[in-house]
Amino acid sequence: MGASAVQAVTAWVVLGGHPSRPALLELSRLSPWAWAARTAGLLALWAGGSIATFALTFDPFLTALPFFMVGAVVWRAFRGRYRVYAFRGDCPRCGHALTVKPGTAIGLPHPLVCYQCHHEPRLAAA
C-alpha cells in the first residue's frame, strides 16, 4: 500500500576493520506521501496520547510511558523509508548469516546484530 515496485539493490554488510560483504537486498521505497501520512498520523497519536495521559492522571511517570513508547514507534516510522522484501547477507567478521524479517520498514544504513559473534555490522546500499 503506497509502496512502489520491489527492486533489487546492491547492498553491503559493513563492519569496521573487516572487508565488507555483498548482500542481497530486495526492497520497495515508500512513496513520500504514504511515508508522510504515516509519520504524521503517528506523531498526532504520540502528542495526543501523551497529553491525554497527563490530563487524565496528572502523573508525569505514567505520562512518560506513552511518551517514550509511542515516541520510539514514531522514530522508527520516521526512519523507515524502505520496506524489506528479501535480505540475505553474512557477518563480515564470522560469516554467520544475518537476518532482516521480510516486511520490516527500515532506513539505510540499517544496524544489524550478529548473534554468532555479537558484533553490530551495518547494512548499507551502494
- Residues in contact with Zn ion, total (CB under 5 A)? 7
94 lines the binding site for Zn ion (CB under 5 A): yes
Candidates 74, 91, 100, 112; binder of Zn ion (CB under 5 A) is 91
How far is residue 80 CA from its own chain's centroid?
Answer: 5
Angle between helices 32-57 and 60-79 (to 10 degrees): 180
Q: CB under 5 A: which stretch of 28-36, 52-60, 91-99, 100-108 binds Zn ion?
A: 91-99
14 lines the binding site for Zn ion (CB under 5 A): no
Residue with cell 546500499: 125
d(CA 50, CA 114): 35
Pick between residue 66 and residue 121 the one whose CB is nearest to Zn ion. Answer: 121
Pick between residue 7 and residue 99 the one whose CB is nearest to Zn ion. Answer: 99
Show Cβ contacts of residue 76 under 8 Å, excluding neighbours closer than 6 positions: 105
114 lines the binding site for Zn ion (CB under 5 A): yes
Beta-carbon count within 10 A of 75 CB = 13
Spatial CA neighbour of 73 closest among 103, 110, 43: 43
The single-letter code of the amino acid at 123 is L
Candidates 18, 105, 116, 125; binder of Zn ion (CB under 5 A) is 116
Contacts (CB under 5 A) with Zn ion, residues 56-85 = none
Please give the residue ranges that form the binding site for Zn ion (CB under 5 A): 91, 93-94, 96, 114, 116-117
